[in-house]
Amino acid sequence: MNIKIIALGKIKEKFLKDGIDEFLKRLTPYASVEIVELPAIEIKDEHLTSRVLDEEGDKVLSHIKPQSYVITMEIKGKELSSEEFAQKIESLSNEGISEIIFVIGSSCGISQKVSQRANFKLSMSKMTFLHQFARLILTEQIYRAFKIIKGETYHK
């Protein structure tokens, strides 16, 4: 399984980078995981938010192949338990999906273009997280999903 995480914005905090790197290392026996970090565009005028989101969306879409299965991280997406998330990944694998792309938007959200391209919209929680934290949480949950799929123990 190939997994790509397309994320807008840089991870600046060392502790977050270290955590993400740790889960990427742990994922190596299960899947090929790549993080594509795209620069977020700074919004200096709130009236330009939709235009900026469209520009970011175009950048994101340029990294997505037509046959890729796209999961966007969205506030209004579907919430899944870790077990349900694992079932989703296993089901996609069984259907012959070879690449899953997760998209984490910038602090302003995700463009309508990218949302429309999504095959599935996922919400991490009703709570709002910094997009940098979302990347760490997502990598941990992907790792947890593979441990669940393989029937291996992982702390609860």
Give the pLDDT mean for 108-120.
94
- 2-149: CATH topology: Alpha/beta knot (3.40.1280)
Top pLDDT among 110 and 47 is at 110
pLDDT at 130: 82
Which amino acid makes up residue 114? V
Residue 134 — pLDDT band, cuts 50, 70, 90?
very high
Mean pLDDT of 53-77: 94
Question: pLDDT confidence of 127, banded at 50, 70, 90?
Answer: confident
**Whether the predicted pLDDT of 145 surpasses 70:** yes
Q: What is the pLDDT of residue 107?
A: 78
Phi, psi dihedral angles at 142 (to 5 degrees): -65, -45
Does the pLDDT value for residue 131 go beyond 90? no
CA gap 69, 118 in Å, rounded? 8
* Confidence grade of residue 139 (pLDDT, cut at 50, 70, 90): very high
What's this model's pTM, rounded to 2 decimal places? Answer: 0.94
Average pLDDT value for residue range 101-116: 92
Q: So what's the pLDDT on residue 51?
A: 84
- 35 vs 16: CA distance, rounded Å: 14
pLDDT at position 156 over 70:
no
Alpha helices in the chain, H assignment, sequence order: 14-27, 49-61, 82-94, 112-117, 131-149
Work out the average pLDDT over 107-111.
85
Euclidean distance between CA atoms 115 and 71, whole angstroms: 9
